[in-house]
Amino acid sequence: MNHAEIEADNSAVLEAGAFVQPLMEEMGKVIVGQKYLLERLVISLLANGHVLLEGVPGIAKTLAIKTLSETLNVNFSRIQFTPDMLPADVTGTQIYNPQSGEFTTRQGPVFANLLLADEINRAPAKVQSALLEAMQEKQVTIGDKTYPLPQPFLVMATENPIEQEGTYQLPEAQVDRFMLKVVMDYPTQKEERQILEDWAKTEGTPTAEQVVTVEQILTARKVVDTIYVDDKVKEYIVNLVCATRDPGGFNVPAEGLIQLGASPRATIYLTLASKAHAFLQGRGYVTPQDVKAIAPDVMRHRIQVSYEAEAEDKTSDHVLALFLDHMPVP
Residues 28 and 176 occupy one common structural domain:
yes
Residues 147 and 238 occupy one common structural domain:
no
- Angle CA 44–45–51, to nearest 5: 40
Which of 146, 172, 192 delimits the end of a domain? 192
Residues 56 and 183 occupy one common structural domain:
yes
pLDDT number for residue 10: 74
Whether 73 is covered by a domain: the verdict is: yes
Residues 175 and 88 occupy one common structural domain:
yes
CB 52 within 8 A of CB 116: no
Burial of 88 (0-12, 13-18, 19+ CB in 10 A): middle
pLDDT number for residue 143: 80
Residues 42 and 185 occupy one common structural domain:
yes
pLDDT number for residue 164: 62
Residues 183 and 321 occupy one common structural domain:
no
Measure CA 10 to chain center. 25
Compute the average pLDDT of residues 317-326: 86
Measure CA 25 to chain center. 20
Whether 313 is covered by a domain: the verdict is: yes
Residues 233 and 176 occupy one common structural domain:
no
Q: In the predicted model, is pLDDT for residue 11 greater than 90?
A: no
- Closest alpha carbon to 41 in 32, 53, 29: 53
pLDDT number for residue 298: 94
Residue-number span of the structural domain to which 52 is assigned: 20-192
The H or E element spanning position 261 is none
Strands (E), the chain: 50-54, 76-80, 92-97, 102-107, 114-118, 139-142, 145-148, 154-159, 178-183, 258-260, 304-305
Instruction: Give the lowest-confidence range in 53-57, 66-70, 218-222.
Output: 53-57
pLDDT number for residue 202: 84
Could you tell me which residues come within 8 angstroms of residue 21 by beta carbon, excluding any fewer than 6 positions away? none
Q: In the predicted model, is pLDDT for residue 307 greater than 90?
A: no
Residues 36 and 159 occupy one common structural domain:
yes
CATH of the domain at 272: 1.10.8.80
Which of 170, 192, 214 delimits the end of a domain? 192
Number of domains in the chain: 2
pLDDT band at 278 (very low <50, low <70, confident <90, very high): very high
Could you tell me which residues come within 8 angstroms of residue 131 by beta carbon, excluding any fewer than 6 positions away? 90, 110, 117, 120, 123, 155, 174
CATH of the domain at 75: 3.40.50.300
Which of 176, 192, 208 delimits the end of a domain? 192
- Closest alpha carbon to 28 in 189, 209, 184: 209
Could you tell me which residues come within 8 angstroms of residue 136 by beta carbon, excluding any fewer than 6 positions away? 177
Whether 136 is covered by a domain: the verdict is: yes
Residues 30 and 178 occupy one common structural domain:
yes
Whether 257 is covered by a domain: the verdict is: yes
- Closest alpha carbon to 81 in 146, 22, 155, 21: 155
Assign residue 110 a region: left if phi > 0, alpha if psi is -120 to 50, beta otherwise? Answer: alpha
Whether 213 is covered by a domain: the verdict is: no
pLDDT number for residue 123: 84
pLDDT number for residue 165: 64
Residue-wise pLDDT tens digits, 41-67: 999 999 999 999 888 888 888 888 888
Whether 89 is covered by a domain: the verdict is: yes
Residues 115 and 28 occupy one common structural domain:
yes
Residues 42 and 161 occupy one common structural domain:
yes
Whether 4 is covered by a domain: the verdict is: no
Residue-wise pLDDT tens digits, 153-180: 889 888 877 556 667 777 777 788 899 9
Whether 145 is covered by a domain: the verdict is: yes
Pairwise pLDDT comparison (72 vs 2), residue with the higher score:
72
**Number of separate helices (H) and strands (E) present in the chain:** 14, 11
Residues 95 and 237 occupy one common structural domain:
no
CB 301 within 8 A of CB 316: yes
